Structure formats: C-alpha cells, structure tokens
A and B are shown apart, each in its own frame.
Chain A
Amino acid sequence: MIYSPTTLAPSEPARQHGLLTRLHLDLPLLSGLLLLCGYGLVVLYSASGQDFGKVERQAIRLALAFVGMFMAAQIPPIHMRRWSPWLYLAGVLMLIAVLLFGDIGKGAQRWLNLGLFRFQPSEMLKLALPMMVAWYLAEQPLPPTWQRLAIAGALVLVPTLLIAKQPDLGTAVLVAAAGIFVLFLSGIGWKIIAAVGGLLMALAPAAWYLMHDYQRQRVLTFLNPERDPLGAGYHIIQSKIAIGSGGLFGKGWLNGTQSHLEFLPERSTDFIFAVLSEEFGLVGILVLMALYLFIVYRGLYIATRGQDTYSRLLAGSLTLVFFVYVIVNTGMVTGLLPVVGVPLPLISYGGTSLVTILAGFGILMSIHTHRKLLPT
C-alpha cells in the first residue's frame, strides 16, 4: 500500500460511502461501543441498588463522552500529528504543575484547578503520550535505531514517573502501557524486548521500597486476601463468592443476593464486574468479552489499514490500552491481579476515564475515515 495523495480527490471516499463515513464515524466500532454502554447501564441499575438517578447521571456522561468522540473523529490525522509534540509538552508541564500546586483528593494530587473547572492532566497523557511517541518514531524509518529508541523510552518514562508520584498507580500503568505499545508496534527487536523485560523483573524488588504504604498494603493483600478481611481482602473474597455463585446463567437481573446483602462498597465502580458475573453468569461474561474483543479486533484492523506509520502506531496503541483496562480490572475483581484503581471500561460508574476512552475511539474513527486512498 503506497501512499500517493494525488490519485484521488479528497472528497472521493465521502461520495463512495454513506452518511456515517461523511460524519467520519465507523459503523462497526460505533455499534460495538453503543451495545457495550447499553449493557453497562443495565448492570449499573442493579449494582447501584436500583438507583435510577445514578443510571441517569451515567447516561448523561456517556452522551457527553460520545459527543467528544464525534468531535475527535472530525480532526484529520495529519493535524493530530502536527499537534502531538505540543499536546505532549503541555501535558507534561501540567503534570509538573499538579505536583507543585495541585488539589488533593483521596490522598493523592491529581487535579489542576483552572478556576472554572478541575482538570486531570494525567488523563490527557493517556492520549498525548502515544501520540508523541508515534510522532517521534514515525519521523525516521522503522525499526528505530538504538539512539532513537532510548529517547522514545525517556519520553514514556518522564510522564509515567510524574503520574506515579501523584500517586496514581492505575493511570501510570495505563500511560506507560500506551507508550510501550507504540514501541512494540514500531518493530523493535525481540532481543531488546526480552532484555528490558528481564531487567524489569530483576528490578521488581526495588520497586517495593519506592511504593507508598497503601500500595504495599495492596500487594500484601493480593498475596494473602485474609490478612485484611475488612478492607480490600474482604472485597476480593466476597467478589469471588459473587462470581462463583453466579454459575453458568447467573441468578438473574436484580437478584444478586451477594451484591445486595453484602459489604461490597465499590460495586457500582471498580467491582461492577462481580455484580455482572453474579447476575448474568458465565453467559453474561461471554457476551461482555465478545463485545470487548470485537471492539479490540476492529481497532487493530483499523490500525493495520492506517495510511501512514503515525496513524498505525497511534491506532494500535490506543486499541491495546483499551484492552489493558479490561484485563487489569477483570483480573483484579477475579483475584488474578492486585487491586489497582482501574475501572471496567465503559461499564463502571464514573466519568473521568470515559471521556478519554471514547476520545481515543474518536481518533481511531478519524484515522479510518480520513484515508485518501481506499482499497476496495
């Protein structure tokens, strides 16, 4: 597939395709996202203790996030590429500002008060970081040289450390993953991947000393849930009972005794997957996973059809990060991974990550619908 902008007029694809393409939307991706969000609202109604107000608030947030996605889809990738370094720079500066003057909520400094509204710069980095790394690597032929690889690594490391310092481990993991995926997709050698992986494993014990107290608690709780039976350990035990007792078909909507009678404080946010598993069973989970996999594979397909290296790297990274959300959250709820504050994407109650995730899909749609040369 060789890029030759002169062969077709820019308006060509719009004429060939329907209304959705003219609006720069991708029908398969859009349908997958809408179905997933609808499913989420149904589960939320039960998880919130049949609080319709909560469902309504979440629906409004979703609507706003979809508007954000639509707007992102209108920006041609060539513009995004041009803005990438500036967005990244602004994001990093704001992270520094957060550390210096940020508001403190829940014991961590994450918010920047801009007078009218509060803003979480680490969310912005979830998009700006892969954009920056993709921009940087796409400048030169791939696979990248050692030198460029080192610089790209630093580009990933700086914001990751700034976010981890807030401390916000969940977001730091996601931001780092976004950058690492770009590096991986750019074709760095397997030997390097193996070497870096080995090094990280060797350094894991050192991380213990850098962790905050509450983060150490979480690791200990993960290793032995019984040691904190009233706190996070209790969540894991109860959430496993909820999931296991759901069985193949579940106890039915609104009938999850475990999640209604018991002590599961985060059940409409981080632990909503346990409610879903109890009430809809393995079948419900398979439906959910099918939706997630459909979205991820569609995203990867869009990435491979991307027209330049920048678009491909960015689209691929955003898609894989979305899947990291899924794995980290479900892994935590089922006791496979330690407790890290990552929501179940597009299902958990709350709006902060919603906007970023859907804006990411807006970028994917833009990449797919702004192509100048469409293979048939």
Chain B
Amino acid sequence: MSVNPQIHIKNYLRESQIFLGRAVFAGVVVGLFALILIVHLGRLQILEHDHFTTLSRDNRVKLEPLPPTRGLIYDANGVLLAQNLPAYSLEIVPEKAGDVKRTIDELTRVIPISNDDRARFARLRRQRRRFDGIPIRVKLSDEELARFAVNRHRFPGVDIHATLLRQYPLAELTAHVLGYVGRINDREIKTIDMSEYSGTSHIGKNGIEKAYEKLLHGHVGLQQVEVNAKGRTLRVLESTPPVRGRDLHLFLDTDLQKTALDAFGDYSGALVAINPKTGGVLALVSKPGFDPNLFVEGISSATYKALRDSEEKPLFNRVLRGQYPPGSTVKPFFALAGLETGAVTPSKKILCRGFYLLPGHDHKYRDWKKWGHGKMDVRSAITQSCDVYFYDLAHTLGVDRMHDFLTPFSFGHHTGIDLTGELRGLLPSSAWKRRVYKQPWYPGETLIMGIGQGYFLATPLQLAAATAALANRGIYVRPRVVKAVGSAQSGRPPHPTVLSSSRIPASNPANWETVISAMVKVIEGKHGTARSIRTDAYHIAGKTGTAQVFSIKQDEEYDEEKIARKMRDHALFIAFAPVEDPQIAVAVVVEHGGHGGSVAAPIARRVMDKYLLKQ
C-alpha cells in the first residue's frame, strides 16, 4: 500500500477513485455473470431445445406418488383397534370441470351433497392447485356409486376416487388412547416433509396416531406413468412400491378398558392402570369419550361444536391433561419422605385433636375428622388419613425437602409416556413460588401441601406412575402404551419398545415396607378408609383421597355457575396389587364422586379383579 499509514487525514479524492475502480470492477463481474447465465440458457433453449422439446412433448411420463398404507394398531390380545377400510369419494378437478359451481349444483340432483360437503370443498380448494382433484363427497354408498357411474358422461372433470380410510372399530372405548387421524391442515403442511406426504391426505392429530405418526405412516412410493395430453394416466411404466407403515402392538387390554369404563357408571373421570414391572399402560380411560371416526373425514361444524362445548368435556383427555389436587393420595409419599430423612421414626406418635396450630399462630388447620384421631403413628396416620399428623410432618420437612423427594416419582414433570400432550401438573417449591408469584413461601402453605392441597396438582397418569414406583419399592418405570413395533409384511417378529427405569434415592428398604403395610391396612384394617373393597383373593395396598372442587378454580375448565351446581368433591384412589408381587397399579379420579373410599376404590377393585382374577 502506497499511503503512509501515519496520515489519518481523509483523502476524499483518493477514496472516490478507489471506489470508482472497485465499482467498475464489480460492474464488469456483474456483466460477466449475466453473460454466463445467458450463455447457459442459450445452450438449454437453443442448442438443446430439440432435446427438451421432445422431452416436454413426450413428457407423457409423469411421476406420481404412491401413498403408503398406514400401519395397524392392535391391543395386547391381538384385537384390532385401528384399521384401513376402502372408501370411495367423488373428486372434482376444477381446471377440467369448467364451471365448478354449476357442476356441483348438477351433481346434487344425482347424489346428495350437504352444506358441510360444500364448505369442505371450498376450504380444500384454496389449498390445492387447479389441476388437483378435490373431494366433494366422501364415503359414497354402493347405490350412490352406481347412480354416478350411469351419469358420469355428464360430468367432465368429476371422478370417483378410491382411498383407504382409517377406521376405529371400538370407537369411543379407545378414543383417548389412539387419538385419530384427520386431513393435513395448513399448519401441519409447514412441519412435514412434503415429498413424503405427497400422496397422503391424512395425518395423526392426537394420541398414538400423532405420537407414532412417523412409524405408522411408512414411506411414500413412486410410479412413472404415461399420461395423455390432458394428463390422464394411460399406463404405468415403472414403480417403486411404497413401504407400508409399521404396525403397533399395545400393552392396552381392551377387555380391561371396557370393565373400567363400565365401572364408572354415570360418573365422569379418569382411570389409568399400569403394569409396574414394564410401565405398560393396561387401561387408560377418560370418561366421557367420543367417537374418533367422526374426525377422520372431517367432522361437521355442528357436531364438533356440540362436542367442544359439552359440559362434560368429552374431548378433554383427563388422564394426560386433567390436573387435580391429589389430596390424601400423596400421604404415603410424604410418609416415606419423613422416614427417609429422619423427620419421623416409625414409632413416633402425635396427638391429633382435630386441628393443628403453627407455632406462634392461632389459625387452626383442621382435620377432616372434627374431634380428632387421637394418638397417631405413621402407619395409623396413613390408614386413617389423619391430616394433623401430616401437617406436623410437612412442617418438619419443609416445602423444599418435600418437593425434592417427590420429584423422582414424576410429580411436577412429564412422566415420559409415549403420547403427546401430557401436562406437568404442579409440584410447588419455594423457588417456584418466588419465580411465579414473586412472593415468599408461607409456612401455612407447607401444611396444606402435606395433605395434597393448595398449589399441588397432579394428573391421573402421574398418580399411577408414582403408585407403580411405590409398588416396585423405589424403581420408577417410564409408562408406555406401545409394547412392540412390527411389520406384517416383513414377517419378522415385532420389535419391542424400550423399558426405561430409574432408581428413586431412598436407602432403607424397611421404610418402603412400613408405608406399604400401612397402605394394606387402608383396605384391610378396622379403621381403613377403603375397607369396603377388602377381598380374600389377593392383598391390595391403596390410599384414598378427596380433592376439594373449589380448588379446581385454577382449572379454567369450570366456571362459577357450574361449581354451585356440582359442589361435591372429586374422589381419588390409588392402589396396587398383589402386594407381594405387584402386577397392576391403578389411579382413579371420579369427578364429583364425593369420598375416595366409597366411589373411587370400588372402581379400582373391579379393574384389579378383572386383571388378576380374569373375572
């Protein structure tokens, strides 16, 4: 560089000249690039013009995607839960039909077309190109098919299209587990690989159908077809067949599922049964349910509105998304926390007078039993669900030790189940309250948390997963719905899904047995809160709970007016059996069921009977 770097005075003339030089250079490069491009295009359009014209004129060869067949879903006993049935739909290609509105009006005289059909047609038409077929009627009956075939010559651009439609034989019974498929919407288009879905119109929207979309869908195939000048297929030249979606085998037992659903009677609520050893979900009931078949070919807006606005919330998956105060069902877990940390010993007794006072305060924290339980140790406190004992225990433990001990049981975070849409519930801590409410944690709130009320929220799935960990004496197993993934085509045995478990840090095995023996007394003891379900066939360990309904205020699902009508508490029950070698862990929430012992426990008993005794 010729300029002495010491001189820091701007030389405007020189800078202008430098720039001019560079700009001229850039201009030359721009021209050069343009020239290269034009030469390249000239080669394509003049030298190779004949070649490409031949390709284009004889471009009778068109690539067509071949949609894969969606994988089937079976329950644990091989019962088919989701299948694909052939269905015929009527499609219009706007470019060929000419006046689309008149075509539809004329068609209406041949086969019935509802306003919903027209609305769907209009909606899909906006997403697709003029030369794509758009369905105007779906699921044609044989008679309709025949009637159209006779009149076909009158409708250019209208064609019958054969497809496979997803169907759920058990309808409502499996709705909240399987979910359903529906037409791919605008939002989903942006997140999927378009070439993979180029022949597919449906996608999993919910449940297993969504969580296992990738496996169920399979891989698109492709065929080269010869078409005439109007784009109609003449013959297939070459094809790569699609790869069928993988079949899924579930842990779910539909007989058990049906027993559970029936056991609820007229009540709404949720039930989850888990095999504690595998984490396999044996039954998953969210009542009421809905018919998922309605969603496959586009639900009419009136039906959808009725479902959505129904007071009973049939579309709401209570198992994964219902967040309830767990009430007294968490007492065994806190008892364990107390024993493990040394906050209490098995022999330590506390006098329950029906209320508890924080040192230095005169507010009375009441027990559900007005006159008190008398002298209580940790076993009798669980068996009789003494609140005062757990107020005292909570006060000794403090919120953060309670939070830390319950975390590995899945409270406050996802259980890790292989379904989408699971909510976390809420396991409060002082740090959480400072973060969210910008307030310190108050000692009174610790007491309330000790009996599973206050901020504490859990989903039925979390309760079941935690109960299973209790049944395993400290091994948390991630719940899962799918047992194995297989393909009917390959003939290979299904590939099992992975068991994943973790040990909950608790050093003394005796403490687990102390708590579990107390839970057995809940059913078999003289004062047990669930003594009504006692059976001689096997031993059950359980715990009842009651969730005050006004706490649900945090859950926007309910409004004031309805609370006034339905003031009864939610009934909860957790249990596992047989105690010595647990095969099944159950969590039940009965909405507005009153007391856990009288309403929720018998439901759990029927499910356990069905599973363990096959009756």
* Inter-chain contact A143/B5, CB cutoff 8 Å: no
Known: A285-B38, A309-B19. A320 touches B55 (CB 8 A): no
Choose, from B58-66, B306-314, B544-552, the stretch at the interface: B58-66
* Inter-chain contact A243/B45, CB cutoff 8 Å: yes
* Residues B77-106 near A (CB distance < 8 A): 95
Q: Does B557 contact A (CB under 8 A)?
A: no
Q: How far is the CB of A167 from chain B (nearest CB, A)?
A: 15
Choose, from B8-16, B437-445, B496-504, B511-519, the stretch at the interface: B8-16
Q: Does A142 contact B (CB under 8 A)?
A: yes
Q: From the candidates A241, A292, A313, name the one contacting B59 in the complex (CB within 8 A).
A: A241
Q: How far is the CB of A145 from chain B (nearest CB, A)?
A: 6
Main secondary structure of the interface of A (DSSP, over half): helix
CA distance A263 to B21 in the complex (A): 47
* Residues A24-61 near B (CB distance < 8 A): 49-51
On chain A, which size bracket covers the interface? Answer: 35 or more
What 9 additional pairs, Cβ within 8 angstroms, besides A234-B63, A247-B49, A261-B59? A140-B8, A143-B1, A143-B3, A185-B19, A187-B18, A230-B220, A231-B194, A243-B44, A247-B46
Q: Does B23 contact A (CB under 8 A)?
A: yes
Closest 10 CB pairs of A and B: A244-B52, A245-B56, A187-B18, A231-B195, A49-B130, A244-B44, A245-B52, A230-B195, A282-B45, A247-B49
Q: From the candidates B42, B59, B129, B195, name the one contacting A282 in the complex (CB within 8 A).
A: B42
Q: Does A265 contact B (CB under 8 A)?
A: yes
Residues of B contacting A107 in the complex (Cβ-Cβ under 8 angstroms): 190-191
Residues of B contacting A316 in the complex (Cβ-Cβ under 8 angstroms): 19, 22-23, 26
* Inter-chain contact B12/A3, CB cutoff 8 Å: yes
Choose, from B29-37, B251-259, B403-411, B478-486, the stretch at the interface: B29-37
Q: From the candidates A51, A184, A293, name the one contacting B34 in the complex (CB within 8 A).
A: A293
Q: Does B20 contact A (CB under 8 A)?
A: yes
Listed A/B pairs (21) with beta-carbon separation below 8 Å: A51-B130, A140-B8, A141-B11, A141-B15, A143-B1, A145-B5, A185-B22, A186-B18, A187-B19, A244-B52, A244-B56, A248-B45, A257-B59, A261-B62, A262-B59, A282-B41, A293-B34, A300-B26, A303-B23, A304-B23, A323-B30
Residues of A contacting B194 in the complex (Cβ-Cβ under 8 angstroms): 231, 265
Residues of B contacting A242 in the complex (Cβ-Cβ under 8 angstroms): 56
* Inter-chain contact A289/B34, CB cutoff 8 Å: yes
Choose, from A63-71, A327-335, A366-374, the stretch at the interface: A327-335
CA distance A313 to B18 in the complex (A): 11
Q: Digitize B406-447: 1 where CB-to-A-CB distance is under 8 Å, 0 elsewhere.
A: 000000000000000000000000000000000000000000
CA distance A281 to B65 in the complex (A): 30
Q: How far is the CB of B9 from chain A (nearest CB, A)?
A: 7
* Inter-chain contact A245/B53, CB cutoff 8 Å: yes
Q: Digitize A248-286: 1 where CB-to-B-CB distance is under 8 Å, 0 elsewhere.
A: 100000000110111101000000000001000110011
Minimal Cβ-Cβ distance residue in B for A265: B194
Q: Does B40 contact A (CB under 8 A)?
A: yes
* Inter-chain contact A296/B30, CB cutoff 8 Å: yes
* Inter-chain contact A1/B16, CB cutoff 8 Å: yes
Q: How far is the CB of B549 from chain A (nearest CB, A)?
A: 36
Residues of B contacting A257 in the complex (Cβ-Cβ under 8 angstroms): 56, 59
* Inter-chain contact B33/A327, CB cutoff 8 Å: yes
Q: Does A246 contact B (CB under 8 A)?
A: yes
| Count of residues in B whose CB is under 8 Å from the partner chain | 58
Q: Digitize B284-307: 1 where CB-to-A-CB distance is under 8 Å, 0 elsewhere.
A: 000000000000000000000000
Q: How far is the CB of A187 from chain B (nearest CB, A)?
A: 4
Q: From the candidates B19, B31, B63, name the one contacting A312 in the complex (CB within 8 A).
A: B19
Residues of A contacting B195 in the complex (Cβ-Cβ under 8 angstroms): 228, 230-231
Tell me the A residues contacting B by CB distance below 8 Å: 1-3, 49-51, 105-107, 140-143, 145, 181, 184-187, 189, 228-231, 234, 240-248, 257-258, 260-263, 265, 277, 281-282, 285-286, 289, 292-293, 296-297, 300, 303-304, 309, 312-313, 316, 320, 323, 327, 330-331, 334, 336
Residues of A contacting B45 in the complex (Cβ-Cβ under 8 angstroms): 243-244, 246-248, 277, 281-282, 285
Known: A3-B12, A49-B130, A184-B22. A244 touches B55 (CB 8 A): yes
Which among B5, B22, B33, B55 has the greatest number of chain A C-beta atoms within 10 A?
B22
CA distance A171 to B538 in the complex (A): 68
Q: How far is the CB of A123 from chain B (nearest CB, A)?
A: 19
Q: Does B198 contact A (CB under 8 A)?
A: yes
* Inter-chain contact A49/B12, CB cutoff 8 Å: no
Residues of B contacting A1 in the complex (Cβ-Cβ under 8 angstroms): 12-13, 16
CA distance A300 to B31 in the complex (A): 12
Q: From the candidates B10, B34, B190, name the one contacting A141 in the complex (CB within 8 A).
A: B10
Which among B9, B56, B65, B129 has the greatest number of chain A C-beta atoms within 10 A?
B56
Q: How far is the CB of A269 from chain B (nearest CB, A)?
A: 13
* Inter-chain contact B40/A336, CB cutoff 8 Å: yes
* Inter-chain contact B44/A240, CB cutoff 8 Å: yes
* Inter-chain contact B26/A320, CB cutoff 8 Å: yes
Minimal Cβ-Cβ distance residue in B for A1: B16
Q: Does B131 contact A (CB under 8 A)?
A: yes
Q: How far is the CB of A168 from chain B (nearest CB, A)?
A: 14
Minimal Cβ-Cβ distance residue in A for B51: A244
* Inter-chain contact A241/B55, CB cutoff 8 Å: yes
Residues of B contacting A247 in the complex (Cβ-Cβ under 8 angstroms): 45-46, 49, 53
* Inter-chain contact A289/B190, CB cutoff 8 Å: no
Minimal Cβ-Cβ distance residue in A for B52: A244
Known: A141-B8, A247-B45, A304-B19. A258 touches B30 (CB 8 A): no
* Inter-chain contact B46/A248, CB cutoff 8 Å: yes
Known: A145-B5, A241-B56, A316-B23. A261 touches B38 (CB 8 A): no
Q: How far is the CB of A152 from chain B (nearest CB, A)?
A: 15
Known: A106-B190, A141-B8, A185-B26. A309 touches B53 (CB 8 A): no
Minimal Cβ-Cβ distance residue in A for B19: A312
Known: A241-B56, A244-B44, A323-B30. A230 touches B65 (CB 8 A): yes
* Inter-chain contact B22/A2, CB cutoff 8 Å: no
CA distance A282 to B48 in the complex (A): 13
Q: How far is the CB of A82 from chain B (nearest CB, A)?
A: 18
Residues of A contacting B26 in the complex (Cβ-Cβ under 8 angstroms): 181, 184-185, 300, 316, 320
Q: Does B150 contact A (CB under 8 A)?
A: no
Residues of B contacting A312 in the complex (Cβ-Cβ under 8 angstroms): 16, 19, 23
Q: How far is the CB of B239 from chain A (nearest CB, A)?
A: 12
* Inter-chain contact B1/A189, CB cutoff 8 Å: yes
Q: Does B241 contact A (CB under 8 A)?
A: no
CA distance A336 to B37 in the complex (A): 9
Minimal Cβ-Cβ distance residue in A for B227: A261
Known: A107-B191, A282-B45. A334 touches B56 (CB 8 A): no
Q: Does B564 contact A (CB under 8 A)?
A: no
* Inter-chain contact B62/A330, CB cutoff 8 Å: no
Minimal Cβ-Cβ distance residue in A for B13: A2
Residues of B contacting A234 in the complex (Cβ-Cβ under 8 angstroms): 63
Minimal Cβ-Cβ distance residue in B for A330: B37
Residues of A contacting B95 in the complex (Cβ-Cβ under 8 angstroms): 49
